[in-house]
Protein backbone atom coordinates (compact mmCIF):
# COMPACT_ATOMS: atom_id res chain seq x y z
CA UNK A 1 0.00 0.00 0.00
CA UNK A 2 1.27 3.38 -0.91
CA UNK A 3 2.01 5.73 1.98
CA UNK A 4 -0.08 8.82 2.30
CA UNK A 5 1.67 11.98 1.08
CA UNK A 6 1.43 14.84 3.52
CA UNK A 7 1.76 18.18 1.83
CA UNK A 8 3.33 20.82 4.06
CA UNK A 9 2.63 24.47 3.44
CA UNK A 10 5.73 26.49 2.48
CA UNK A 11 6.92 28.22 5.65
CA UNK A 12 7.89 31.83 5.48
CA UNK A 13 11.13 32.68 7.26
CA UNK A 14 9.92 35.81 9.05
CA UNK A 15 13.41 36.67 10.23
CA UNK A 16 14.75 36.71 6.70
CA UNK A 17 11.66 38.46 5.35
CA UNK A 18 11.69 41.25 7.93
CA UNK A 19 15.44 41.84 7.64
CA UNK A 20 15.04 41.95 3.84
CA UNK A 21 12.25 44.52 4.22
CA UNK A 22 14.24 46.70 6.64
CA UNK A 23 17.24 46.59 4.33
CA UNK A 24 15.05 47.55 1.38
CA UNK A 25 13.67 50.47 3.37
CA UNK A 26 17.20 51.70 4.11
CA UNK A 27 18.16 51.45 0.46
CA UNK A 28 15.01 53.15 -0.81
CA UNK A 29 16.27 56.78 -0.63
CA UNK A 30 19.38 55.84 -2.64
CA UNK A 31 17.23 54.06 -5.20
CA UNK A 32 15.04 57.20 -5.36
CA UNK A 33 18.16 59.25 -6.19
CA UNK A 34 19.22 56.71 -8.81
CA UNK A 35 15.86 56.66 -10.60
CA UNK A 36 15.55 60.44 -10.35
CA UNK A 37 18.59 61.11 -12.54
CA UNK A 38 16.84 59.77 -15.66
CA UNK A 39 14.15 62.45 -15.57
CA UNK A 40 14.23 65.48 -17.91
CA UNK A 41 16.10 68.61 -16.89
CA UNK A 42 16.26 71.89 -18.82
CA UNK A 43 18.98 73.37 -16.65
CA UNK A 44 21.45 70.47 -16.64
CA UNK A 45 23.35 71.26 -19.92
CA UNK A 46 23.87 74.85 -18.75
CA UNK A 47 25.03 73.76 -15.28
CA UNK A 48 27.33 71.11 -16.71
CA UNK A 49 28.94 73.75 -18.95
CA UNK A 50 29.33 76.52 -16.36
CA UNK A 51 29.54 75.58 -12.66
CA UNK A 52 30.04 71.82 -12.67
CA UNK A 53 33.79 71.86 -13.56
CA UNK A 54 34.38 74.29 -10.68
CA UNK A 55 32.46 72.08 -8.19
CA UNK A 56 34.43 69.04 -9.36
CA UNK A 57 37.79 70.81 -9.22
CA UNK A 58 37.16 72.20 -5.73
CA UNK A 59 36.05 68.79 -4.48
CA UNK A 60 39.16 67.12 -5.92
CA UNK A 61 41.47 69.81 -4.49
CA UNK A 62 39.98 69.38 -1.03
CA UNK A 63 40.04 65.57 -1.22
CA UNK A 64 43.72 65.47 -2.24
CA UNK A 65 44.83 68.26 0.11
CA UNK A 66 43.02 66.89 3.16
CA UNK A 67 44.08 63.31 2.28
CA UNK A 68 47.77 64.20 2.09
CA UNK A 69 47.82 66.41 5.18
CA UNK A 70 45.77 63.95 7.24
CA UNK A 71 48.23 61.22 6.27
CA UNK A 72 51.10 63.51 7.35
CA UNK A 73 49.41 63.93 10.75
CA UNK A 74 48.21 60.36 11.26
CA UNK A 75 50.96 58.09 9.92
CA UNK A 76 53.92 59.30 12.03
CA UNK A 77 51.84 59.70 15.18
CA UNK A 78 50.25 56.25 14.87
CA UNK A 79 53.68 54.68 14.29
CA UNK A 80 55.27 56.55 17.19
CA UNK A 81 52.46 55.64 19.61
CA UNK A 82 52.51 51.98 18.54
CA UNK A 83 56.29 51.49 18.42
CA UNK A 84 58.02 53.82 20.89
CA UNK A 85 57.81 54.50 24.62
CA UNK A 86 58.27 58.26 24.94
CA UNK A 87 57.25 60.80 27.62
CA UNK A 88 53.47 61.17 27.86
CA UNK A 89 52.74 58.42 25.31
CA UNK A 90 49.54 57.36 27.10
CA UNK A 91 48.28 60.96 27.24
CA UNK A 92 49.00 61.57 23.55
CA UNK A 93 47.32 58.29 22.63
CA UNK A 94 44.04 59.76 23.98
CA UNK A 95 44.65 63.36 23.01
CA UNK A 96 45.24 62.48 19.37
CA UNK A 97 41.68 61.13 19.08
CA UNK A 98 40.02 64.19 20.62
CA UNK A 99 39.77 66.35 17.44
CA UNK A 100 37.10 63.88 16.32
CA UNK A 101 34.78 65.54 18.85
CA UNK A 102 35.06 68.95 17.15
CA UNK A 103 32.55 69.45 14.30
CA UNK A 104 34.21 70.66 11.10
CA UNK A 105 31.92 73.72 10.91
CA UNK A 106 32.84 74.77 14.48
CA UNK A 107 36.54 74.50 13.64
CA UNK A 108 35.87 76.54 10.50
CA UNK A 109 34.34 79.39 12.58
CA UNK A 110 37.46 79.59 14.73
CA UNK A 111 39.89 79.56 11.78
CA UNK A 112 38.00 82.19 9.83
CA UNK A 113 40.13 84.88 11.53
CA UNK A 114 43.11 83.69 9.51
CA UNK A 115 41.50 85.19 6.42
CA UNK A 116 41.16 88.53 8.21
CA UNK A 117 44.75 88.43 9.45
CA UNK A 118 45.89 87.95 5.86
CA UNK A 119 44.31 91.21 4.63
CA UNK A 120 47.41 93.40 5.22
CA UNK A 121 49.49 90.84 3.33
CA UNK A 122 46.98 90.79 0.46
CA UNK A 123 46.99 94.61 0.27
CA UNK A 124 50.80 94.51 0.08
CA UNK A 125 50.69 91.86 -2.65
CA UNK A 126 48.16 93.87 -4.68
CA UNK A 127 50.34 96.98 -4.54
CA UNK A 128 53.47 95.14 -5.60
CA UNK A 129 52.22 92.49 -8.08
CA UNK A 130 48.71 93.58 -9.02
CA UNK A 131 45.20 92.30 -8.42
CA UNK A 132 45.49 88.97 -10.26
CA UNK A 133 48.38 87.76 -8.12
CA UNK A 134 46.54 88.99 -5.02
CA UNK A 135 43.51 86.87 -5.99
CA UNK A 136 45.74 83.81 -6.36
CA UNK A 137 47.39 84.42 -2.96
CA UNK A 138 43.97 84.92 -1.35
CA UNK A 139 42.76 81.66 -2.88
CA UNK A 140 45.86 79.79 -1.66
CA UNK A 141 45.38 81.14 1.89
CA UNK A 142 41.65 80.32 1.89
CA UNK A 143 42.01 76.81 0.45
CA UNK A 144 45.13 76.16 2.56
CA UNK A 145 43.39 77.17 5.79
CA UNK A 146 40.33 75.08 4.93
CA UNK A 147 42.49 72.05 4.09
CA UNK A 148 44.48 72.47 7.33
CA UNK A 149 41.43 72.80 9.56
CA UNK A 150 39.62 69.89 7.90
CA UNK A 151 42.74 67.70 8.21
CA UNK A 152 43.13 68.72 11.86
CA UNK A 153 39.64 67.48 12.63
CA UNK A 154 39.44 64.45 10.32
CA UNK A 155 42.91 62.83 10.66
CA UNK A 156 41.82 60.77 13.76
CA UNK A 157 39.80 58.47 11.42
CA UNK A 158 43.11 57.42 9.89
CA UNK A 159 45.08 57.61 13.14
CA UNK A 160 42.77 55.20 14.99
CA UNK A 161 42.85 52.60 12.20
CA UNK A 162 46.63 52.85 11.71
CA UNK A 163 47.44 52.74 15.41
CA UNK A 164 45.36 49.60 15.85
CA UNK A 165 46.96 48.06 12.77
CA UNK A 166 50.54 48.90 13.78
CA UNK A 167 49.92 47.58 17.29
CA UNK A 168 48.32 44.43 15.94
CA UNK A 169 50.92 43.76 13.26
CA UNK A 170 52.68 40.51 13.95
CA UNK A 171 55.88 41.42 15.77
CA UNK A 172 57.62 38.58 13.96
CA UNK A 173 57.77 40.70 10.77
CA UNK A 174 59.40 43.51 12.71
CA UNK A 175 61.89 41.04 14.21
CA UNK A 176 62.58 39.46 10.82
CA UNK A 177 63.37 42.91 9.44
CA UNK A 178 65.80 43.65 12.25
CA UNK A 179 67.58 40.31 11.93
CA UNK A 180 67.95 41.03 8.21
CA UNK A 181 69.91 44.15 9.16
CA UNK A 182 67.24 46.82 8.73
CA UNK A 183 66.77 49.86 10.97
CA UNK A 184 63.34 50.64 12.52
CA UNK A 185 62.92 53.44 9.94
CA UNK A 186 63.56 51.05 7.05
CA UNK A 187 61.20 48.47 8.57
CA UNK A 188 58.51 51.14 8.87
CA UNK A 189 58.93 52.13 5.20
CA UNK A 190 59.26 48.66 3.68
CA UNK A 191 57.20 46.43 5.96
CA UNK A 192 54.93 48.16 8.49
CA UNK A 193 53.47 50.80 6.18
CA UNK A 194 52.84 48.52 3.15
CA UNK A 195 51.26 45.95 5.50
CA UNK A 196 49.03 48.69 6.88
CA UNK A 197 47.76 49.55 3.42
CA UNK A 198 44.19 48.29 3.95
CA UNK A 199 43.91 50.46 7.08
CA UNK A 200 45.49 53.39 5.25
CA UNK A 201 43.01 53.11 2.39
CA UNK A 202 40.06 52.57 4.73
CA UNK A 203 41.02 55.63 6.78
CA UNK A 204 41.60 57.79 3.71
CA UNK A 205 38.28 56.62 2.24
CA UNK A 206 36.46 57.69 5.43
CA UNK A 207 38.21 61.07 5.30
CA UNK A 208 37.36 61.42 1.59
CA UNK A 209 33.69 60.71 2.31
CA UNK A 210 33.65 63.22 5.15
CA UNK A 211 35.25 65.87 2.92
CA UNK A 212 32.78 65.21 0.10
CA UNK A 213 29.93 65.30 2.60
CA UNK A 214 31.00 68.48 4.38
CA UNK A 215 28.71 71.46 3.99
CA UNK A 216 29.27 73.79 6.96
CA UNK A 217 33.02 74.43 6.62
CA UNK A 218 33.08 74.74 2.80
CA UNK A 219 30.05 77.02 2.85
CA UNK A 220 31.63 79.23 5.52
CA UNK A 221 34.90 79.49 3.57
CA UNK A 222 33.13 80.05 0.25
CA UNK A 223 34.59 77.00 -1.52
CA UNK A 224 31.72 75.48 -3.53
CA UNK A 225 32.06 71.68 -3.76
CA UNK A 226 29.69 69.11 -5.24
CA UNK A 227 27.74 68.97 -1.95
CA UNK A 228 27.40 72.75 -1.88
CA UNK A 229 26.40 72.49 -5.54
CA UNK A 230 23.53 70.15 -4.65
CA UNK A 231 22.26 72.67 -2.09
CA UNK A 232 22.51 75.56 -4.57
CA UNK A 233 20.89 73.63 -7.44
CA UNK A 234 18.07 72.09 -5.40
CA UNK A 235 17.18 74.88 -3.00
CA UNK A 236 18.56 77.91 -4.87
CA UNK A 237 17.54 77.12 -8.45
CA UNK A 238 14.77 74.67 -7.56
CA UNK A 239 16.17 72.18 -10.09
CA UNK A 240 15.55 68.81 -8.46
CA UNK A 241 16.83 66.59 -11.30
CA UNK A 242 20.14 68.44 -11.63
CA UNK A 243 20.57 68.14 -7.87
CA UNK A 244 19.98 64.39 -8.11
CA UNK A 245 22.46 64.11 -11.00
CA UNK A 246 25.11 65.93 -8.96
CA UNK A 247 24.35 63.61 -6.05
CA UNK A 248 24.75 60.57 -8.31
CA UNK A 249 28.11 61.93 -9.49
CA UNK A 250 29.30 62.19 -5.90
CA UNK A 251 28.27 58.60 -5.19
CA UNK A 252 29.95 57.41 -8.40
CA UNK A 253 33.16 59.20 -7.41
CA UNK A 254 33.24 57.40 -4.04
CA UNK A 255 32.64 53.99 -5.61
CA UNK A 256 35.23 54.45 -8.36
CA UNK A 257 37.88 55.21 -5.70
CA UNK A 258 36.96 52.11 -3.68
CA UNK A 259 36.84 49.85 -6.73
CA UNK A 260 40.18 51.09 -8.10
CA UNK A 261 41.85 50.34 -4.79
CA UNK A 262 40.49 46.80 -4.51
CA UNK A 263 41.39 46.08 -8.16
CA UNK A 264 44.91 47.39 -7.73
CA UNK A 265 45.49 45.25 -4.61
CA UNK A 266 44.98 42.08 -6.67
CA UNK A 267 46.70 39.03 -5.18
CA UNK A 268 48.51 40.70 -2.31
CA UNK A 269 47.84 39.80 1.30
CA UNK A 270 48.54 41.77 4.44
CA UNK A 271 48.63 39.16 7.19
CA UNK A 272 49.46 35.51 7.65
CA UNK A 273 47.12 33.71 9.97
CA UNK A 274 49.55 30.78 10.32
CA UNK A 275 52.28 33.01 11.71
CA UNK A 276 52.70 32.80 15.49
CA UNK A 277 53.33 36.12 17.18
CA UNK A 278 54.64 37.61 20.40
CA UNK A 279 53.45 40.75 22.13
CA UNK A 280 54.89 44.00 20.78
CA UNK A 281 57.72 45.48 22.80
CA UNK A 282 58.05 49.25 22.45
CA UNK A 283 61.44 50.78 21.70
CA UNK A 284 62.92 53.60 23.77
CA UNK A 285 63.99 56.55 21.63
CA UNK A 286 66.93 58.78 22.59
CA UNK A 287 66.43 62.34 23.90
CA UNK A 288 66.18 63.90 20.45
CA UNK A 289 63.81 61.16 19.30
CA UNK A 290 61.59 61.77 22.33
CA UNK A 291 61.39 65.49 21.57
CA UNK A 292 60.54 64.72 17.95
CA UNK A 293 57.81 62.29 19.08
CA UNK A 294 56.21 64.79 21.46
CA UNK A 295 56.28 67.61 18.87
CA UNK A 296 54.81 65.30 16.18
CA UNK A 297 51.93 64.37 18.50
CA UNK A 298 51.36 67.90 19.81
CA UNK A 299 51.05 69.57 16.39
CA UNK A 300 47.85 67.86 15.13
CA UNK A 301 46.24 68.07 18.59
CA UNK A 302 46.98 71.79 18.64
CA UNK A 303 45.50 72.36 15.16
CA UNK A 304 42.50 70.04 15.49
CA UNK A 305 41.53 70.45 19.14
CA UNK A 306 43.42 72.88 21.39
CA UNK A 307 43.16 75.96 19.15
CA UNK A 308 39.48 75.66 18.10
CA UNK A 309 38.32 74.69 21.60
CA UNK A 310 40.26 77.51 23.29
CA UNK A 311 38.78 80.01 20.78
CA UNK A 312 35.27 78.69 21.42
CA UNK A 313 35.76 78.92 25.20
CA UNK A 314 36.94 82.53 24.93
CA UNK A 315 33.96 83.42 22.68
CA UNK A 316 31.52 81.69 25.04
CA UNK A 317 32.92 83.78 27.89
CA UNK A 318 32.46 86.98 25.85
CA UNK A 319 28.89 85.98 24.92
CA UNK A 320 28.36 85.35 28.67
CA UNK A 321 25.22 86.79 30.16
CA UNK A 322 23.72 88.21 26.96
CA UNK A 323 23.11 84.71 25.60
CA UNK A 324 19.46 83.58 25.64
CA UNK A 325 19.94 80.34 27.61
CA UNK A 326 16.27 79.58 28.29
CA UNK A 327 15.28 79.51 24.61
CA UNK A 328 18.45 77.62 23.79
CA UNK A 329 17.91 74.86 26.39
CA UNK A 330 14.23 74.53 25.55
CA UNK A 331 15.00 73.85 21.90
CA UNK A 332 18.08 71.80 22.51
CA UNK A 333 16.49 69.34 24.92
CA UNK A 334 14.12 68.22 22.18
CA UNK A 335 16.97 67.86 19.70
CA UNK A 336 19.05 65.85 22.20
CA UNK A 337 16.04 63.65 22.82
CA UNK A 338 15.70 63.07 19.08
CA UNK A 339 19.42 62.24 18.80
CA UNK A 340 19.29 59.85 21.76
CA UNK A 341 16.13 58.05 20.66
CA UNK A 342 17.37 57.81 17.04
CA UNK A 343 20.69 56.39 18.29
CA UNK A 344 18.88 53.75 20.34
CA UNK A 345 16.51 52.73 17.54
CA UNK A 346 19.37 52.60 15.00
CA UNK A 347 21.50 50.47 17.35
CA UNK A 348 18.69 47.98 18.02
CA UNK A 349 17.89 47.76 14.32
CA UNK A 350 21.59 47.22 13.53
CA UNK A 351 21.71 44.51 16.19
CA UNK A 352 18.69 42.81 14.66
CA UNK A 353 20.12 43.03 11.11
CA UNK A 354 23.54 41.75 12.24
CA UNK A 355 21.84 38.82 13.98
CA UNK A 356 19.76 38.00 10.90
CA UNK A 357 22.86 38.16 8.70
CA UNK A 358 24.82 35.89 11.07
CA UNK A 359 22.21 33.14 11.22
CA UNK A 360 21.67 32.95 7.46
CA UNK A 361 23.21 29.98 5.72
CA UNK A 362 22.82 31.54 2.27
CA UNK A 363 25.05 34.36 1.06
CA UNK A 364 22.51 36.57 -0.68
CA UNK A 365 20.66 38.04 2.30
CA UNK A 366 23.81 38.99 4.29
CA UNK A 367 25.10 40.74 1.15
CA UNK A 368 21.78 42.53 0.70
CA UNK A 369 21.81 43.65 4.35
CA UNK A 370 25.39 44.84 4.00
CA UNK A 371 24.48 46.81 0.89
CA UNK A 372 21.69 48.52 2.82
CA UNK A 373 24.23 49.97 5.27
CA UNK A 374 26.06 51.86 2.52
CA UNK A 375 24.46 55.12 3.64
CA UNK A 376 27.61 56.29 5.42
CA UNK A 377 29.52 56.28 2.15
CA UNK A 378 26.92 58.55 0.62
CA UNK A 379 27.15 62.27 1.44
CA UNK A 380 24.45 63.21 3.91
CA UNK A 381 22.94 65.83 1.64
CA UNK A 382 22.35 63.06 -0.95
CA UNK A 383 20.64 60.95 1.71
CA UNK A 384 18.55 63.95 2.69
CA UNK A 385 17.53 64.57 -0.89
CA UNK A 386 16.73 60.85 -1.34
CA UNK A 387 14.48 60.82 1.74
CA UNK A 388 12.73 63.99 0.53
CA UNK A 389 12.01 62.43 -2.87
CA UNK A 390 10.88 59.13 -1.36
CA UNK A 391 8.63 60.61 1.32
CA UNK A 392 7.32 63.19 -1.14
CA UNK A 393 6.17 60.35 -3.42
CA UNK A 394 4.60 58.43 -0.52
CA UNK A 395 2.80 61.58 0.67
CA UNK A 396 1.59 62.39 -2.86
CA UNK A 397 0.23 58.87 -3.17
CA UNK A 398 -1.49 59.04 0.24
CA UNK A 399 -2.87 62.50 -0.60
CA UNK A 400 -4.36 61.16 -3.84
CA UNK A 401 -5.87 58.33 -1.83
CA UNK A 402 -7.63 60.85 0.39
CA UNK A 403 -5.16 60.96 3.29
CA UNK A 404 -3.24 64.01 4.50
CA UNK A 405 0.52 64.55 4.20
CA UNK A 406 2.06 62.48 6.98
CA UNK A 407 5.80 62.08 6.45
CA UNK A 408 7.41 65.07 4.71
CA UNK A 409 8.78 67.72 7.05
CA UNK A 410 8.32 65.63 10.19
CA UNK A 411 10.70 64.24 12.81
CA UNK A 412 9.97 60.78 11.36
CA UNK A 413 11.65 61.83 8.11
CA UNK A 414 14.68 63.16 9.92
CA UNK A 415 14.95 60.07 12.18
CA UNK A 416 14.65 57.78 9.16
CA UNK A 417 17.36 59.75 7.33
CA UNK A 418 19.65 59.38 10.36
CA UNK A 419 19.04 55.63 10.23
CA UNK A 420 19.96 55.47 6.53
CA UNK A 421 23.11 57.52 7.10
CA UNK A 422 24.40 56.10 10.39
CA UNK A 423 23.26 52.46 10.28
CA UNK A 424 26.73 51.29 9.29
CA UNK A 425 28.29 53.02 12.32
CA UNK A 426 26.42 50.56 14.53
CA UNK A 427 26.11 47.63 12.11
CA UNK A 428 29.81 47.13 11.29
CA UNK A 429 31.09 46.80 14.89
CA UNK A 430 28.07 44.76 15.97
CA UNK A 431 28.43 42.42 12.99
CA UNK A 432 32.11 41.92 13.77
CA UNK A 433 31.41 41.41 17.49
CA UNK A 434 28.67 38.91 16.64
CA UNK A 435 31.17 36.85 14.64
CA UNK A 436 33.99 37.02 17.15
CA UNK A 437 32.08 36.91 20.45
CA UNK A 438 29.09 34.76 19.62
CA UNK A 439 30.72 32.46 17.04
CA UNK A 440 28.66 29.29 16.81
CA UNK A 441 26.69 29.96 20.02
CA UNK A 442 23.51 30.31 17.99
CA UNK A 443 23.97 26.79 16.65
CA UNK A 444 24.66 25.54 20.18
CA UNK A 445 21.47 27.24 21.32
CA UNK A 446 19.45 25.60 18.52
CA UNK A 447 20.86 22.21 19.45
CA UNK A 448 19.38 22.84 22.90
CA UNK A 449 16.01 23.31 21.18
CA UNK A 450 15.89 27.05 21.67
CA UNK A 451 14.38 29.27 19.02
CA UNK A 452 15.96 32.31 17.37
CA UNK A 453 14.18 34.79 19.60
CA UNK A 454 15.46 33.03 22.70
CA UNK A 455 18.95 32.94 21.23
CA UNK A 456 18.78 36.65 20.39
CA UNK A 457 17.51 37.77 23.79
CA UNK A 458 19.23 35.31 26.13
CA UNK A 459 22.60 34.87 24.44
CA UNK A 460 23.43 37.58 21.93
CA UNK A 461 21.90 40.53 23.77
CA UNK A 462 23.55 39.90 27.16
CA UNK A 463 26.89 39.21 25.46
CA UNK A 464 26.76 42.30 23.27
CA UNK A 465 24.90 44.86 25.36
CA UNK A 466 28.07 46.82 26.15
CA UNK A 467 29.04 46.80 22.47
CA UNK A 468 25.56 48.13 21.74
CA UNK A 469 26.00 50.92 24.27
CA UNK A 470 29.31 51.90 22.66
CA UNK A 471 27.69 51.86 19.20
CA UNK A 472 24.75 53.93 20.42
CA UNK A 473 27.22 56.48 21.82
CA UNK A 474 29.04 56.67 18.49
CA UNK A 475 25.77 57.16 16.60
CA UNK A 476 24.64 59.79 19.13
CA UNK A 477 27.88 61.78 18.65
CA UNK A 478 27.53 61.58 14.87
CA UNK A 479 23.90 62.71 14.95
CA UNK A 480 24.73 65.63 17.28
CA UNK A 481 27.33 66.86 14.79
CA UNK A 482 25.26 66.24 11.67
CA UNK A 483 24.49 69.44 9.79
CA UNK A 484 23.51 69.13 6.07
CA UNK A 485 21.01 66.30 6.57
CA UNK A 486 19.28 68.21 9.37
CA UNK A 487 19.27 71.45 7.35
CA UNK A 488 17.56 69.67 4.45
CA UNK A 489 14.93 67.76 6.42
CA UNK A 490 14.21 69.57 9.70
CA UNK A 491 10.64 70.62 10.38
CA UNK A 492 10.04 74.35 10.40
CA UNK A 493 11.37 75.95 13.62
CA UNK A 494 13.15 72.81 14.76
CA UNK A 495 16.78 73.36 15.80
CA UNK A 496 19.60 71.04 16.76
CA UNK A 497 22.91 72.06 18.35
CA UNK A 498 24.55 71.97 14.91
CA UNK A 499 21.90 74.06 13.13
CA UNK A 500 21.90 76.52 16.05
CA UNK A 501 25.65 77.04 15.84
CA UNK A 502 25.63 77.27 12.05
CA UNK A 503 22.69 79.70 12.08
CA UNK A 504 24.43 82.04 14.54
CA UNK A 505 27.69 81.93 12.59
CA UNK A 506 25.94 82.63 9.26
CA UNK A 507 24.21 85.64 10.81
CA UNK A 508 27.58 86.94 12.01
CA UNK A 509 26.76 86.26 15.70
CA UNK A 510 30.11 84.52 16.04
CA UNK A 511 30.26 84.69 19.86
CA UNK A 512 26.81 83.12 20.20
CA UNK A 513 27.78 80.15 18.03
CA UNK A 514 30.43 79.20 20.60
CA UNK A 515 28.06 77.79 23.22
CA UNK A 516 26.28 75.17 21.04
CA UNK A 517 29.59 74.31 19.32
CA UNK A 518 31.25 73.74 22.70
CA UNK A 519 28.34 71.62 23.86
CA UNK A 520 28.67 69.36 20.78
CA UNK A 521 32.42 69.10 21.41
CA UNK A 522 31.91 68.26 25.08
CA UNK A 523 29.38 65.56 24.22
CA UNK A 524 31.88 64.18 21.71
CA UNK A 525 34.76 64.24 24.20
CA UNK A 526 32.69 62.42 26.86
CA UNK A 527 31.58 59.83 24.30
CA UNK A 528 35.12 59.27 23.02
CA UNK A 529 36.52 58.95 26.56
CA UNK A 530 33.84 56.39 27.37
CA UNK A 531 34.48 54.37 24.20
CA UNK A 532 38.26 54.58 24.56
CA UNK A 533 38.05 53.34 28.15
CA UNK A 534 35.65 50.59 27.18
CA UNK A 535 37.93 49.40 24.36
CA UNK A 536 40.91 49.44 26.71
CA UNK A 537 39.08 47.43 29.38
CA UNK A 538 37.78 44.95 26.82
CA UNK A 539 41.27 44.47 25.39
CA UNK A 540 42.81 44.01 28.85
CA UNK A 541 40.05 41.57 29.76
CA UNK A 542 40.65 39.58 26.57
CA UNK A 543 44.40 39.33 27.15
Partner 1 sequence: MILKINQISKTFARNEVAAVRDVSFSVGEGELLSLIGESGSGKTTLLRMIAGLEVPEKGEIHFKDQCYCGADIWVPPERRQVGLVFQGGALFPHMTVAQNIGYAIIGGDKDERGATIKDHLSLVRLLDKDKRYPHELSGGERQRVALARALASKPEVILLDEPYSNLDTALTYDLREEVKEILSSRRMTGILVTHNASDARHFADRIVILRKGRVIQAESVEAVAKEPADDYCRLLIHGRPSDS
Among 139, 178, 189, 506, binds partner 1 (CB under 8 A): 178
Find all residues with CB under 8 Å of 26, minimum gap 6, and list them: 372, 373, 375, 419, 420, 423
Nearer to partner 1, 178 or 327 (CB): 178
CB contact at 8 A, 149 and 104: yes
The residue among 153, 221, 163 whose CA lies nearest residue 196 is 163
Nearer to partner 1, 50 or 543 (CB): 543
Find all residues with CB under 8 Å of 450, minimum gap 6, and list them: 458
Measured from the CB of residue 140, what is the shortest distance to partner 1 in angstroms? 37
218: left (phi over 0), alpha (psi -120 to 50) or beta: alpha
Among 191, 202, 258, 441, binds partner 1 (CB under 8 A): 191
Nearer to partner 1, 13 or 175 (CB): 175
Q: Per rule CB under 8 A, is residue 140 in the interface with partner 1?
A: no
Beta carbons within 10 angstroms of residue 239's beta carbon: 20
From 177-185, 323-331, 427-435, 524-532, span contacting partner 1 (CB under 8 A)? 177-185
Q: Per rule CB under 8 A, is residue 267 in the interface with partner 1?
A: yes
CA distance 131 to 403: 60
Nearer to partner 1, 177 or 308 (CB): 177
Report the DSSP beta bridge partners of residue 84: 283
Nearer to partner 1, 192 or 498 (CB): 192
Q: Per rule CB under 8 A, is residue 262 in the interface with partner 1?
A: no
| 370-429 binders of partner 1 (CB under 8 A) | none
Q: Per rule CB under 8 A, is residue 202 in the interface with partner 1?
A: no
Nearer to partner 1, 183 or 310 (CB): 183
Among 272, 330, 435, 507, binds partner 1 (CB under 8 A): 272
Q: Per rule CB under 8 A, is residue 275 in the interface with partner 1?
A: yes
Q: Per rule CB under 8 A, is residue 540 in the interface with partner 1?
A: no
From 221-229, 268-276, 383-391, 513-521, span contacting partner 1 (CB under 8 A)? 268-276
Measured from the CB of residue 89, what is the shortest distance to partner 1 in angstroms? 19
Find all residues with CB under 8 Å of 273, minimum gap 6, and list them: none
CA distance 380 to 375: 8
CB contact at 8 A, 524 and 101: yes
Among 9, 120, 181, 493, binds partner 1 (CB under 8 A): 181
Nearer to partner 1, 17 or 180 (CB): 180
Binding mask 207-226 for partner 1 (x = CB under 8 A): --------------------
CA distance 176 to 174: 5
The distance in angstroms from the start CA to the end CA of the chain is 65
- Residue 283 sits at φ, ψ, to 5 deg, of -90, 155
From 113-121, 192-200, 250-258, 519-527, span contacting partner 1 (CB under 8 A)? 192-200
Q: Per rule CB under 8 A, is residue 282 in the interface with partner 1?
A: no
Find all residues with CB under 8 Å of 328, minimum gap 6, and list them: 500, 515, 516
- Residue 362 sits at φ, ψ, to 5 deg, of -75, 170
Q: Per rule CB under 8 A, is residue 180 in the interface with partner 1?
A: yes
Cα–Cα distances in angstroms (integers) from residue 2 to residues 5, 6, 9, 220, 259, in the given order: 9, 12, 22, 82, 59
Nearer to partner 1, 29 or 177 (CB): 177
Q: Per rule CB under 8 A, is residue 173 in the interface with partner 1?
A: yes
Q: Per rule CB under 8 A, is residue 539 in the interface with partner 1?
A: no
CA distance 340 to 479: 9
Binding mask 153-172 for partner 1 (x = CB under 8 A): -----------------x-x
From 77-85, 150-158, 190-198, 352-360, span contacting partner 1 (CB under 8 A)? 190-198
Q: Per rule CB under 8 A, is residue 85 in the interface with partner 1?
A: no
Among 13, 85, 175, 261, binds partner 1 (CB under 8 A): 175
What secondary structure does DSSP assign to 366-401, as a single string? HHHHHHHTGGGGS-HHHHHHHHHHHHHHHHHHHHHT
Count residues binding partner 1 (CB under 8 A). Answer: 26
CB contact at 8 A, 422 and 346: yes
Report the DSSP beta bridge partners of residue 283: 84
Measured from the CB of residue 256, what is the shortest distance to partner 1 in angstroms? 24
Measured from the CB of residue 278, what is the shortest distance to partner 1 in angstroms? 9
CB contact at 8 A, 244 and 385: yes
Among 176, 202, 437, 441, binds partner 1 (CB under 8 A): 176
Greatest extent of the chain over all pairs of C-alpha atoms, in Å: 109
Measured from the CB of residue 181, what is the shortest distance to partner 1 in angstroms? 5
Residues binding partner 1 (CB under 8 A):
170, 172-173, 175-183, 190-191, 194-195, 197, 267-272, 274-276
Amino acid sequence: MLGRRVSQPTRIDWWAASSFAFALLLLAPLLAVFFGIFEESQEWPHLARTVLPGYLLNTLILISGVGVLSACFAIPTAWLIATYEFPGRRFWQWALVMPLAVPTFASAFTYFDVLEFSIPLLVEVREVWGIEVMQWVERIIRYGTLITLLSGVLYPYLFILLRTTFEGQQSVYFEAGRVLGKSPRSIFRSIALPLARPALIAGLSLITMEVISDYGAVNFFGVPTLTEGIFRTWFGLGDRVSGLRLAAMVVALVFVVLWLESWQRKRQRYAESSQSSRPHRRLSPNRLGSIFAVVSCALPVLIGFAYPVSRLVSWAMIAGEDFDYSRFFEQIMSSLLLAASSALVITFLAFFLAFCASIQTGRLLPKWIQASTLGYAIPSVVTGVGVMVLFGRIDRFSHLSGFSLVLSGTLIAIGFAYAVRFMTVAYKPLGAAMDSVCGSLHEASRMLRRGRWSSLMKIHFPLLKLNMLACATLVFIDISKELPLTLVLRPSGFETLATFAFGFAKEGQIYDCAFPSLLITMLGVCGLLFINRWIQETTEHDT
